[in-house]
Structure 1
Amino acid sequence: MKITAIAPYAGLAEIINDVAAEKGITTIDVLVGDLQEGVRSAIQAEKQNCDIIISRGETAERIKKHVAIPVISIDVSGFDLLRVITLIKDTDSHAAFVGFPAIANAVKTISSLIDVHLDVYAINDELHIEQQLRKLKESHYTFVIGDVITVQLAEKTGLHGLLLTSGRESVLNAFIQAEDAYRMIAALKNERDTYREMIYNQHQHTVLVNGQATVLSHREFPLPMDYVEWLADAIATHGPLQFLMAYQHQLYELNGRQLLGRQVLIELQEQKDIPEALPLVTLISPANDAVYLSSNHHEVQQLIEHADALRDQAGPIILTGETGSGKESLARHIHGLSEGFFLKVDGSQCQVAFYDVLADILHQGGVLYIINAESLPDEALAWLKAHQQNPFRIILTADLETKGKLPVKGTLLHLPPLRERKQDIADLARLFISTFNSEFGRQIAGIRPEAMDLLENYAYPQNITELGRIMKEAVLEEETEYILDGTIETILSSMGPDTKVEIDLSGTFADIETQIIQAVWLEENKNRSKTAQRLGINRTTLWRKLKELD
C-alpha cells in the first residue's frame, strides 16, 4: 500500500510520521500543503501510482474533486474541538469560529455543551473568510478559531488565530480507514484484472468510459477517443446501442451499454454474422482520405466557391448528381477543418430514433451526411423537418428528380457528370496516381499524352469513382515510370461498353460470384440496400465482398 499524506500544517505531518512508524508503514510520503497546494501535490501523487491519499478538512474535500483514487479525511474529533475551545473558556475577550461549513456545526454544538460563548461563521471560500475576519476586527474580536487558512488570514488582519488541530487518535483512525479502503481496492483490482484477461483472450476492442476513456483490450482502440467519449455520452442518455461502424476501410459491430453511474462499456468486434437490420455509420476522417474535388470546369469552380461560402452558414444542404460525381468530396470540402465529426449514413437504413443518437454524438458540431435521402421513411423526413437548425450541419444527397419531395428548405448544389467536365480528368488522374503510389509503394511519375487522350474520351458512366478504379488498376499494372496508352486501352477494353460486366462461366465459383455481384451493383447504381436485396444476401456480406472488388 503506497500512501501520500498531505498535512495542512507541519504539526500534523509530525503526528502522521509518528503513527506510520508505530504501525510499521514505510511506503508513505508525508507532505505539507494546504488547499490548492495540497491539490497539486495529490494530482502528482496519483500520477506516481499512489494508492491512497490522507489529508484533512477542506484540503481533503478539494483533493477528492481532482483525483480518482481514495482520499481519507483525518477527522477533527470532539476531543480536538474541546481542546481548542477550552483555551478560550475563561477569557473575557470576544471569540469566534470562522471556517468551512463541514466543521462549523460541530463547533457550535461543542461550544454550547460546555457553555462557552463562541460566534460561529460558516464560510465557503477564502475571499469571504478574509472579509468576515475584517468585520470581526472592526467589532473588536480578539480570538478566532479555524483551520490553517483562517489562522493565517487572522494573523494578517491583527487577530489571534487558534488552529483547530487533529490529535493522534484522529490520525490513527484515518490509517485504519486507509487500510480498509486499500483491501477493498485490491479486491476490485483483482476482479478487474480477471475481466481484463478475459477481454484480452476474446480478441476484441474494448474501452471503458468514465469521464475519460480507458482501453481494456490489449490492442489499440481503432476509433478516435474524442468520438468514443461523445458516443459514451449518447449511450448514457439513450441506453444500449448496437450498430455497424465503418472507419478507415474497416467494418466493426459496435455494442455499447451503461454500467454503474456514468460508466459506459463499448466493444468493437469484426464479425461475419451481423443482423441485417443493424444501421451502418461511417466515420470519415478528412485528414486521412484524399478529397478529389479539383476542377477546371467553370460550373464546378462556381459550385466550389458557393460551397466555401456555405461553410459559415447554418441550414441543410442538398447535393444532387450522378453516382460517383463527387458529392461526398463536396460534402467533406464543406466540412473542411470544422469542429466535430463527419458521419455518413444511408437514408434507407436508419430508424428515426437512431438519428437522435447521431444528433447527440454531433452536439458540438460536425456533419451528418445522409445518402439516398429520397429513400428516407416518413418518420425520418418528419425528424429532418423538425431539426433543420442544429449545432451540426445536415447534408443530404438525392436524385435530382426527387429532391423536391424532401421537407427540407436547404441550399441545392448540383454536380455535373464527369463526361461534361473532361478538362478535369487530367488533374484528377494525377491525384489518383499520387494516392495509389503512396498506398501501394509504386513510383509512377506521370501519364503519357496518348494515354490521357484515351481517358478524356471515355464516357465514365460511374464518373470519378470509375476514373479512380481505372487509375488504381493502371498504377498497379504499369511496368514503366509513365502510364502508357496500351495500359489504359487494355483496362478500358476489359470494362466493356457501359461498364456492363460480361459473366465468364469458365472460371471458379468464386470468380463467377464476384462478377455477378459487380454486375448487379453497377446496375443498381451502387445502392447497397437494393444490391443486397436483389442478391439475397445481407448488407454486411455485400460490404465485405465489395471491399474485395476495390
Structure 2
Amino acid sequence: MLKILAIAPYQNLKTKIDEIAEDFKTLYVESYVGDLSVGLAIAQKKASKFDVVISRGGTAKLLAKYIDRPLVEIDLSLLDILRVIRLVEVYKYNYAFIGFSNVTEKIKLLGQILSKELQVITISSSAELPEIIAGLKKQGYSMIIGDNITFNEARKNNLNSILIESGDESIQNALVAARYLGTELQKRTEQYRLIDKTLMAFDETIMVISKQGSLIYQHNKNFSKKRSQAILRELKGKLANSPTDTLTLFSRSEGQLYRINAKLRNALWFVLVSPLQISSSQTASISNFLPAPKQDVSSVNIGNLSKDIQKAAKAKSNVLLIGEKGTAKLAAAEHMASLIKLRHYWKIDFTRMTSKSDYWRLFNDDTSPLLDHHSLFIIDGVETLNDDQLKALHSFYAMSETTGNIYILICESNDKEIQIIDLFHSAFQITTVALRQRKSDLGSLISLYLYQFSKQHRKSVVGINQDGMHILDSYSWPGNLSQLKRVLEQFVINANGPFISSESVKQMIFSEENRYIEKQRDKGTFNPLSLFEGKTLDEIQQQIITILLKHNGGNKTQTAKQLGISRSTLWRLLK
C-alpha cells in the first residue's frame, strides 16, 4: 500500500485530507498540521518512512527544497477563490488579497470576470509580508485575505483575516497525482521506553522538550492524551521565549491546576508537572493562562474598541471594562493580555465563586494568586461583589505599582456601576458599545462570523439575502454580540445552501424576541416599549403584524379582523 505524508499548514485542511483519503482504499495517508518551518521539521522527521509528500502553498515550496521525496502541491481552484470573493461582498471596510503569483493571477482573472475592483498584491517571498501588511494597516485596511502565511501575518498585526482554503476537488486531484508518484518504503517508528520503567513510582509527569519546543520524551502516568497536549501547547511559547534556564508557571487542563517546573540542561528542557490539590469551586473560578497569539479578535477589531485596548496595553495601564452583557468585554480583556508580556496571567471569575470560603482564600490566604508579582489579572464579575469584597479587591489593586501587576476589571452595567467607577477611578476606563448603537458595523460582523462558523461546521454559507439583512439590521439585539454570534451559528448549522433566506431570519428573530420577553417577565423587568426601541413606525407595524400572524397560526383573515383592517389591506402591508 502506498504511503502518503500530508503536511497541512492549517487544521481544517488536515481534517479535509483525512476525510477524503478514506475514499482512496489503496493509500495509507498520515496527516499533520504545520506551517512553513514547523511543517518542514515534521517532514524532515517523518518523510523517510513515506513514499510521497503532499502539502500546500508556501509550505509546499519550502518542502520541495529540503525533502528528498516526490512532492505534490495541493492547488487552489478558481471555485475556491470565488467562494471567498462572494463571502466578503458585504464587508464594508477596506480589504486586500495578498499571495504568490499562482494565486493572485486567478484572483485578478475572477475580478475581471465579475467586474469587481479588487485590491490584489503579488509577493515573491513571504519575507515581504510584514512590511506590506504593516503598510496596509496604516492605510486603513482592516482585513487581509490570502494563504496561510498571509493569514497568520495579518493576525500578528491584529487585523481580521480570511484564509483561502483548498476545496475537496483540489485535495482529490492532489491525492490522485500522489498515487502515481510514490514508491514503497518501509515505515518504522522508534519509541522511548527505557526511562518509563524507572519513573513508574512517581505521580508527577515528566517531559523532555527540545529548545525548539518539540516533545522528545514524556512519562505520562495517569495523564490523558488531551491533558498532555494542552500543557505542551502552553509550554512551547514559554520555553522558547524564556530569558533564563529555569521556569515556573501554572497550567489548567480538564479542571486540574498544575505547577510546572522546567530546567534547561544540555540544550534540552526537563519539565516536571505536579498536580495542585485545590477545591473544585476554586478550580472553576481561578485559572492561570497563556495569552493566545492567534486568537479571534473580530469582535474587538470592528469599531473603536481595538484602539482603546492598544492604547491601554501600550501604557500598561490598569483597565476597567464596563458594558452590557455580551459586548465582547472578555474578548477585549484577552486581546489586551496578548499585547502585554508579563510573568504570569490569571483569570478570576467572581460569577463562578459559590461559597464564602472561596472569597476568604482569595483575599486572605498566603497562597492567593493576588499575591503574585509581575502578573496580569483578568477579573470578571466585579459587579457581583459586596462592599467589603470590593474593598478587599481594591487593596490588592492599590499595590499594583509595587507588585508590577496589571488588573483588567470587567463590570457588567448595573446599579453598582457608579460605585465601582468611583472606587477604581485611577483605571483606564473603556465602555463597550451595545450592538444596537453600532449598526454600521453589523454587516462586517455578520460577514466575519459567517466565515468563521462556515469553516467550523464545514458549510459553504456566503451570505444572507437583502430582506434578511434588513430584518437583522432592524432588530434591537438585547443580547448584543453574544446573541448575534449564537443566531448566526444557528443559521449556518441549519443552512441548506449558500444563502440564508429572509424566512429563516424572520423565524429566528421572532423566536429571539419571544425568548427575550419571557426572560424579562421572569425577572419582573419587562418593558413592552423595549420591543420597539430604535425602530421606525413602518418597522413597528410590521413587527406587530408578524407577532399576530404567528399567534394566529398564519391565519390572515383572523389577523386582519383583530387589527380592524381588511384582508386586502393586510396583504398590502405585508408586501
Provide the TM-score with structure 1 as the length reference: 0.44
Q: Computing the radius of gyration over CA atoms, which structure comes out larger, 1 or 2?
A: 1
Provide the TM-score with structure 2 as the length reference: 0.43
Structure of greater relative contact order (alpha carbons < 8 Å, 6+ residues apart): 2
